[in-house]
Structure 1
Amino acid sequence: MNVGVIGCLNSKNIGDYIQTLSVINLINQSYTILERESLNNYKGKKTKTIINGWFMENPLKFPPSKHIDPIFISFHINPSIEKEFLNPKTIDYLKQYQPIGCRDKYTQTLLQQHNIETYFSSCVTLTLKKRDFMDSSYKDKRILIIGAFDRLKPSIRHNQGVIKALISFIKWPYKFFNYQFKNYIFRKWLNNQNYEAEFINQIVEEKISSHSEGIEKAKSMLKKIANSEIVITSRIHSALPAVAMDKKVIFIDDGLEHINHKSRLSGLTSFFKSIKLKEIRMLNLDSISVEMKHKSYSKEIEEKIITFLYT
């Protein structure tokens, strides 16, 4: 049996490959990584493929080829391309493989508006196991901070046209001050905690050029999560793996007002503690509980994928 999993070459987001690795760990057999943006061009042997994650940069590259036999689970549609994506051809294709397991409530509602049967599956990263990544470096009093301020970093939109570039240039001083001020508040609070802290990034500077590189970066990041007690992040694919590994999670939701961010979070925020940075000064780490609300979802994902592969 040929099995396919989704990869995302040229991504700078390790979270893409954390999702890939989550599926690989579930199937527990040989597999082929298929590029998300060229599923329509696949011409290999008939392949049972778990289609999950963020779709997509180019909606004209969908639906997948007839050589792919899919199950849709933890599936998210990018709001920026949803109108182009949900054309009659794609709607008919998705109906062939319904119900579609949606990673978020936004995607679920969107597909239901087109009379496509759906269910809320949550994310495959909730199936990750702490035992697969934990080692002797674990520390009780370690906080791992992963891109907690990513959404607040000011930038000038050079590649989005003159008007947007000008607007972002005008707003830059205020956004820079806001970013620096909130960073100061956070670090002052952090210094008063009796924890060792480590800062890492989920977004890398250079594009991931091979699937093996993406998998290795995902493993490295997951090991850091597994060997920490608390994770603070604004990245959903740092927060959900930490939840899966029974960690205390603090999700910073400043700067996530855009529909592209809000859509990805819908239905998932109940799995972790979500706060604004201004609230962190009042936060008592001992009061944060380890949530178990995800367990039924992770179990269902595992069962559906195994059933799909072996029937």
Structure 2
Amino acid sequence: MKYGVLYRKTTKNIGDDMQSYAAEQWLPHTDYLVDIEAMDSFKADDDEPVATIMSAWYMWEKWNWPPSKYVYPLWIGLHYNDIQRGRPRGMPSKFEYIESGPGKEYLKRFEPIGCRDYYTQERLSERGIDNYFSGCVTLTLKKRPPKPREREYIVLVGLAKSVEEAVKKQMEGTGIDVIVEPPTRPIPSDQFMTWEQRRAEVEERLDLYQNAKCVLTFRVHCALPCIALETPVLWVRHNFNSVRLDPYKHYANTALNEDVIAGKYKDYMLNPIPNPDTYKPVRENLEKIISEFIDKAEHETRTASELYESQYTDEEIMQWRHDTMKKTLYSYHKEHHIDLREMAAMRNELAKYQKIGDIDEVRRMNREYNSKIVKLAVKFRRLLLKLLGKKP
């Protein structure tokens, strides 16, 4: 059996690579890189299946679904959330690609699907796809060798600037260094980094986390690796309402931005308390599932074609993609006209207030109208990037 690392070829987010690295640590060897945004066109040599751990955020490029027959998948850690694309009204697309046809059939072939969060579980259940909560593969990261520094340090990742500045001030004179690390790269990775370089960057970051006195972060894929490494981590956010956090916010100590700024967690930074151990059953179950998958893959002798069980031909899958794409674009076209009608109504209301000389209402309507224009510009930009096959 050959093995593939699922990765996002084009990304600024180091958290994407953290997930790929966590999956790769389980593979006997790495033979292929499988781009999550081009899974439909992935092809292996000699009709060989490629065992791949599929833990990731799906699907930015929904028109490349389902994956090709060469991907021999372990479906754990699936996160399917359209915060960026589906919730703004009319953004194509939402869940069309797993609701019918080859897209839904594909997931049902590999039931039950391991999900990274309860939101994804609910969305799959609504569509008749069996699932369970698996957790994220980053919870299985292995502890790193100690590399102590001369001075103790804490690490800040992705925090609001106001929180960063407050922490730096609170740590003055304590003898503890404050290291601020960005959660993203300045430019997309595919423009200047090989996977080997990206892997080394992840290892360097994990070493930094492992040897820190504690880590304060806003980011999911900083918090979960720290939990796996057993480094004290304080999850700091303005709120914890995100669906991505529901399963995990009890795995770490948490704090609100304003409380950290107010100095309520200075004692924590000086004397961090261990993370809760509530994640351990999830980690142990993931380790069992992945180990069984690797063992099964090692004994698999069939070709990719022999393993392929879809009732759809390649031509039928391509036609389904085409039809679904047309459906989502037509939906966007209709919603676009709703936006235009709303803007026309706002212009009429603005003209009315201008006519009667109500300056306060004119100012209010101008603010609302300009805000609407900005939102539409963002929506159009996302659509254009989508059509160009790029991630916003």
TM range (shorter): 0.7 to 0.9
Cα deviation for residue 201 of structure 1 reads 1.1
Distance in 2 between residues matched to 1:19 and 1:140, nearest whole Å? 30
**Per the alignment, do residues 100 and 186 of structure 1 end up closer, same or farther by CA in structure 2, a change over 3 Å counting?**
same
8 A Cα contact 2:227 2:251, kept in partner: yes
Which residue pairs with 1:75 in the alignment? 78
Does residue 246 of structure 1 match 2:259?
no
Does residue 116 of structure 1 match 2:96?
no
Which residue pairs with 2:329 in the alignment? none
Distance in 2 between residues matched to 1:208 and 1:256, nearest whole Å? 29
Does residue 13 of structure 1 match 2:16?
no
Does residue 99 of structure 1 match 2:79?
no
Tell me the C-alpha RMSD between the 2 structures.
2.0
- Within a 5 Å distance, the mapping from 1:190-229 to structure 2 comes to 190-191=171-172, 195-209=176-190, 210-229=194-213
Which residue pairs with 2:335 in the alignment? none
Which of the residues 264, 271, 277 maps onto 2:257? 277
Distance in 1 between residues matched to 2:68 and 2:31, nearest whole Å? 18
Structure 1 regions of 5+ residues with no counterpart? 150-178
Does residue 46 of structure 1 match 2:46?
no
Which structure's relative contact order is higher, taking Cα pairs within 8 Å and 6+ residues apart? 1
8 A Cα contact 1:143 1:196, kept in partner: yes
Task: Give the counterpart letter for 2:76 in structure 1.
Answer: I
Structure 2 regions of 5+ residues with no counterpart? 86-92, 297-392
Distance in 2 between residues matched to 1:86 and 1:13, nearest whole Å? 26
Distance in 2 between residues matched to 1:242 and 1:287, nearest whole Å? 13
Q: What is the number of equivalent residue pairs in this alignment?
A: 275
Which residue pairs with 1:160 in the alignment? none
Partner secondary structure for residue 180 of structure 2 = strand
8 A Cα contact 2:2 2:50, kept in partner: yes
**Per the alignment, do residues 43 and 28 of structure 1 end up closer, same or farther by CA in structure 2, a change over 3 Å counting?**
closer
Deviations 1:124-161 (A, max 9, x none): 1111111xx33333578321111222xxxxxxxxxxxx
More strand by share: 1
Which residue pairs with 1:148 in the alignment? 159
Deviations 1:82-134 (A, max 9, x none): 4233231322211110111111111111111111111111111111111xx33
Which residue pairs with 2:147 in the alignment? 136
Deviations 1:197-235 (A, max 9, x none): 211112010211232232122111111111112010111
Which residue pairs with 1:86 in the alignment? 98
Q: Return the index of the structure with the highest Cα Rg.
A: 2
Deviations 1:33-66 (A, max 9, x none): 2100011111212212211111121111111011
Which residue pairs with 1:23 in the alignment? 23
**Per the alignment, do residues 289 and 136 of structure 1 end up closer, same or farther by CA in structure 2, a change over 3 Å counting?**
closer
Distance in 2 between residues matched to 1:306 and 1:138, nearest whole Å? 35
8 A Cα contact 2:156 2:164, kept in partner: no
Deviations 1:234-277 (A, max 9, x none): 111111111111111111122776xxxx1222211111112111
8 A Cα contact 1:139 1:228, kept in partner: no
Partner secondary structure for residue 264 of structure 1 = coil
Distance in 1 between residues matched to 2:151 and 2:234, nearest whole Å? 16
